[in-house]
Amino acid sequence: MTSTTKKTLLISGTALAPLAFALGICILFVAAVAGGAAEHQGEGGDATAPTGQGVPAKVNGIDAVMLAAYSRAAQQIPTLRPKCTGMRWSVVAGISEVESTHAAGHTIAAGGDITPPIIGPRLDGSGTGGNTTPVYDTDHGRYDGDTQYDRAVGPMQFLPSTWAGIGQDGNNDGIKNPNNAFDAALTTAVYLCGTGTSDLSDDAQLRQAILRYNHSGDYADKVIGYIHQYDTLAPAVTTNNTDVGGSAGAVIAAALKEQGIPYVWGGGDINGPTGGGFDCSGLMVYAFYQGAHITLPRTSQAMRTIGTSVPRDQMQPGDLIVFNNDGNWGHVGLYLGGGQMVNAPRPGKNVETTAVSTGYWTRYDWDVRRVL
CB 62, CB 185: distance < 8 Å: no
Average pLDDT, integer, range 273-301: 94
Average pLDDT, integer, range 245-251: 82
pLDDT digits (tens, 9 = 90+) for 304-332: 999 999 999 899 999 999 999 989 999 99
Average pLDDT, integer, range 91-98: 97
pLDDT band at residue 249 under the 50/70/90 scheme: confident
- From CA 63, how far away is CA 59, in angstroms rounded? 8
Taking the CA atoms of the chain, what radius of gyration do you get in angstroms? 22
pLDDT above 70 (res 41) = no
DSSP 139: S
Task: Return the closest-CA partner of residue 235 out of 70, 23, 9.
Answer: 70
Peptide bond into 116 cis (omega under 30): yes
Q: Side by side, which strands form the sheet with 352-355? A: 308-310, 366-370, 320-323, 331-337, 340-343, 352-355
- pLDDT for 235: 59
User: Who contacts 190 (Cβ-Cβ below 8 Å, separation ≥6)?
Assistant: 77, 80, 81, 166, 168
- pLDDT for 315: 93
**pTM flag (> 0.75):** no
CB 252, CB 287: distance < 8 Å: yes
Residue 331 phi, psi (nearest 5): -145, 150
DSSP 192: H
pLDDT digits (tens, 9 = 90+) for 222-235: 999 999 999 888 65
pLDDT digits (tens, 9 = 90+) for 177-221: 999 999 999 999 999 999 999 999 999 999 999 999 999 999 999
CB 177, CB 205: distance < 8 Å: no
Residue 115 phi, psi (nearest 5): -135, 145
CB 199, CB 85: distance < 8 Å: yes
User: Who contacts 207 (Cβ-Cβ below 8 Å, separation ≥6)?
Assistant: 220, 224
- pLDDT for 1: 55
Could you give the percent of the chain with pLDDT greater than 90? 60
How many Cα atoms are found within 13 Å in the side-chain-facing hemisphere of 251? Answer: 28
- pLDDT for 278: 94
CB atoms near residue 38 (< 10 Å):
10
User: Who contacts 257 (Cβ-Cβ below 8 Å, separation ≥6)?
Assistant: none
Mean pLDDT of the chain: 83
pLDDT band at residue 51 under the 50/70/90 scheme: very low
Secondary structure (DSSP) of 167-184 = ---TTSSS---TTBHHHH
pLDDT band at residue 236 under the 50/70/90 scheme: low
Q: Is 15 exposed, middle or buried (0-12, 13-18, 19+ CB in 10 A)?
A: exposed
- Orientation of helix 89-100 relative to helix 217-231, angle to 10°: 130
CB 107, CB 65: distance < 8 Å: no
Would you call 363 helix, strand, or coil by DSSP? helix
DSSP 146: -
Helices (H), the chain: 17-23, 41-47, 64-80, 89-100, 160-166, 181-193, 203-213, 217-231, 246-256, 280-292
**Percent of the chain that is helix, strand, coil (3-state, to 5):** 35, 15, 50
- From CA 193, how far away is CA 332, in angstroms rounded? 37
